[in-house]
Chains A and B, each alone.
Chain A
Amino acid sequence: MASSAPTPTAKWTPDQPLIRIRDVHKSFGPNVVLGGVTFDVMKGEVICLIGPSGAGKSTLLRCVNALVPIDRGSILVEGQEVHDPMLDKLALRRKVGMVFQQYNLFPHRTALDNIMMAPRHVLKRDRHEVETLARALMRKVRLEGKEDFYPGELSGGQQQRVAIARSLAMQPDVMLFDEVTAALDPETVKEVLVTIRELVEDGMTCMIVTHEMGFAREVANQVYFTDRGVVVEHGPPAEFFTNSRDPRTRQFLSQIL
């Protein structure tokens, strides 16, 4: 289960991959969910993971920020080994932000509170400073005026944008998006995708699991197609969507596009 050697404290530099995933295996009981996944994410890159529904893609995201422990393999985030029993999970999660399909906002707090809670209580920053940051983020996701609304009073797309702002408040180095538009109706999907695209244009490193092929084509630097726990094919979107090589990829794309 554990890697035997302690994590080397090598200093990470931006020329090295931000996320380095090597031969990651994960099974839930007899189900092999990840059967040896290997790739790198460089700083500033946007990776889109596409593929048939199955737990692999979402599980991989959750392995990156240590929500789910891996069985075998290695994940390095900014040089820090995730698959390490001595890992400081909180330090890792300060660097990695995650947005969920079901938004998972805290229903008993206002939108502004949702955004402010983590920087105040985890980063222990000053209240006024955090409030200014939170209001700026609300403006950034185009929800100015909705600060005092409770999640139950907001639409799905608005809630998802608050969720994105909430993760951004921690000023992470990489953002993970787990099928964030899957639970939204088509009209609201666009507003969330626009928000993500603006983030990308600001230089945020992103790993996005999505079914929105058009969006993947627009923003991704690399598209990875996973099926049954392995990466079948990958490439830049231009090549990938027009000239895919593997028959499984082509079959999947023909069903979607």
Chain B
Amino acid sequence: MIAVRDGTLPVLKPFRLGTASLPAFRLRARHGAFIAVALFLFIGIGDAQAGPAAAASILATLLKWTPLLARGFALDIAMSFLAMAIGTVAGVVVGLGLISLRAPVRGLAWIVTQLFRNAPWLVMLFYCMLLLPFEVRVGGATIPLPDWLKATFGLGLPVMANVAELVRGAVRSIPFGQWEASEALAFTRWQTLRMVILPQCIKRMTPPWMNLYSILVAAMPLTSVVGVSESMTLVGDVLSAENRSELLVPMYLYLLLWFFAYCYPIARLTVALERRFQVR
């Protein structure tokens, strides 16, 4: 037995599959409260600084532009759903490749995972925008690929890599006895995965998967950099249209509040699910 003098353990503490593979993203109600307070504070300051009543109040301006922002935000949400869907399906396939018995398959899956997990999302977005064609000729028809679709695909790549890691981690966290029992009952490997292992993995993967979605939503404004006309782009457009400097901070805080209002319930649900799915 290794003698321990400095209080450190000679072994690692038990590892619990949770949000360990992604940065912790704990939203609290107080964060939303801060944003809202900051918003109204800046509205107040801005209104005080503004000239006589010729210009409309900031609050009124925000409300005026809300329908437009809502459309932009809706595009953000739609893109996030699509990116998550594409990424999850692809990620499960790559994840199964990561646990394959065949070394070449495992190796290829590993390369794909490491490549897209360790690259900056914005860089991958740029690659997709530039490398994917603006239209695709399939059979006789010509299908245009709009910017937002290319951006969605671009963001699906890091989702795919992270989901693959989640799948691999979840499969490895299933007790070995489950594999032994399945083998002893003469299940093939694929039957074992399909009927015994993967169903148990779904529960374990759900909280970190929802966390990944939260992070993805917060990353949607990246697409404004590559030219997609979503909420961030529209805020910029509105600000240049209004051309009032006191509108700058309140407008961005307003957008922040929108994102918070969407992500916070997801975060709460994730925490509730984690508690319910406590891995015994």
Contacts and interface: CB of A to CB of B under 8 A. Distances in A.
Interface stretch (A6-14, A115-123, A218-226): A115-123
Nearest to A119: B185
B181 interface: yes
Interface string B167-203: 0000000010110110111111001000110011000
Given A102-B175, A106-B200, 8 more contacts: A62-B180, A96-B184, A98-B184, A104-B180, A106-B196, A117-B185, A118-B185, A170-B186
A108 B180 contact: no
Contacts of B175: 102, 104
A241 interface: no
Nearest to B183: A67
A80 to B, nearest CB: 14
Given A117-B195, A121-B191, A104 B186 contact: no
A122 B187 contact: yes
Contacts of A118: 185-187
B195 A121 contact: yes
Contact of B177 (A65, A100, A121, A170): A100
B185 A102 contact: no
Given A90-B188, A121-B191, A104 B177 contact: yes
A107 B200 contact: yes
Contacts of A229: none
B186 A90 contact: yes
Interface string A90-134: 110110111010101111100000000110011000000000000
B170 to A, nearest CB: 13
Contact of B181 (A100, A108, A121): A100
Contacts of B200: 106-108
A83 interface: no
Interface residues of B, number: 16
Would you call the interface of chain B mostly helix, strand, loop, or mixed?
helix
Contacts of A90: 186, 188
Using C-beta atoms within 8 Å of the partner chain, give the interface range for chain A: 20 to 34
A104 B181 contact: yes
Contacts of B188: 90
Contact of A167 (B177, B180, B184, B187): B184
Interface of B: 175, 177-178, 180-181, 183-188, 191, 195-196, 199-200
Contacts of B191: 121-122
B183 to A, nearest CB: 6
The 9 residue pairs across chains A and B that have the minimum distance between CB atoms? A104-B181, A93-B186, A104-B177, A98-B184, A118-B185, A90-B186, A122-B186, A102-B177, A94-B186
Contacts of B195: 106, 117, 121
A106 B191 CA distance: 13
A89 to B, nearest CB: 8
A166 interface: yes
B178 A104 contact: yes
Interface in A112-161: 117-118, 121-122
B277 to A, nearest CB: 12
Given A102-B177, A106-B178, A107-B200, A97 B184 contact: yes
Contact of B180 (A100, A117, A122, A166): A100
Given A106-B178, A106-B196, A107-B200, A121 B187 contact: yes
Interface string A43-64: 0000000000000000000100
Contacts of A102: 175, 177
7 contacts: A65-B184, A93-B183, A102-B175, A102-B177, A106-B200, A117-B185, A118-B187
Interface centre among A65, A117, A167, by most B CB within 10 Å?
A117
A167 B182 CA distance: 11
A67 B184 contact: yes
Nearest to A152: B280
Nearest to B176: A104
A55 to B, nearest CB: 14
